Amino acid sequence: MQTEIIIAGFGGQGVLFCGQLIAYAGMDSGKEVTWIPSYGPEMRGGTANCTVVVSDEEIGSPFVHYPKAVIAMNLPSLDKYEPEVSPGGVLVVNSSMVNRAVIRKDILSVLIPANEIAETLGGGRMTNMVLLGGLLANLPFLTLEAIEKALKEHLPARHHQLLPMNYKALRQGAEYKAENTRVS
């Protein structure tokens, strides 16, 4: 099985870290992975996205045109990548930063107020983990435990005090499954 994911948002939202974390978790789980970051020259506030491919077999190309999943962390990302999700795919949207409904009828859309959830946990910097939890609950190509393990093993030791909050963020995002999803 091969899963292609695009994660997109503004610089500073943890877009690239989220993609790296998926790649580490896949690699640590014995899967083949690719991770390609893309960002503007701005450090924060500019556009940022990354492409991640996780596969049980050798990956033919790291480039993705119609991903199985997209995490859109803001409105420009939703506008750009909603048309790209493959039919039957999953679109996870940060509804805290988006003021429109998902238009597509042939995909599963998961709307999560990720900024608000992250704030209740103690910091907006966990928005990416909330959205990742929501993705994995609706497209289980990796387990939450694999992501948690990758966080612990690949996060610098100076940030390990943040692990419990990140684990909570993943789990709260994962609660956005059946009752909080809709096929648009």
Q: What is the pLDDT of residue 35?
A: 96
pLDDT digits (tens, 9 = 90+) for 52-83: 999 999 998 888 889 999 999 999 999 999 99
Q: Strand 2-10 to strand 47-55: parallel, antiparallel, or no bridges (unpaired)?
A: antiparallel
Q: Count CA within 13 A, CB hemisphere, residue 118.
A: 23
Structurally, how many domains does the chain consist of? 1
Range 116-144 average pLDDT: 93
Name the more confident of 30 and 43.
30
pTM for the model: 0.92
pLDDT of 41 above 90: no
pLDDT at 182 over 80: no
Query: What is the edge-to-edge ordering of all strands in the sheet holding 108-112?
Result: 32-39, 47-55, 2-10, 69-72, 90-94, 108-112, 181-183
CATH number at residue 121: 3.40.920.10
pLDDT at 179 over 50: no
Domain of residue 104 covers: 2-183
Q: What's the mean pLDDT when you consider all of the chain? A: 90
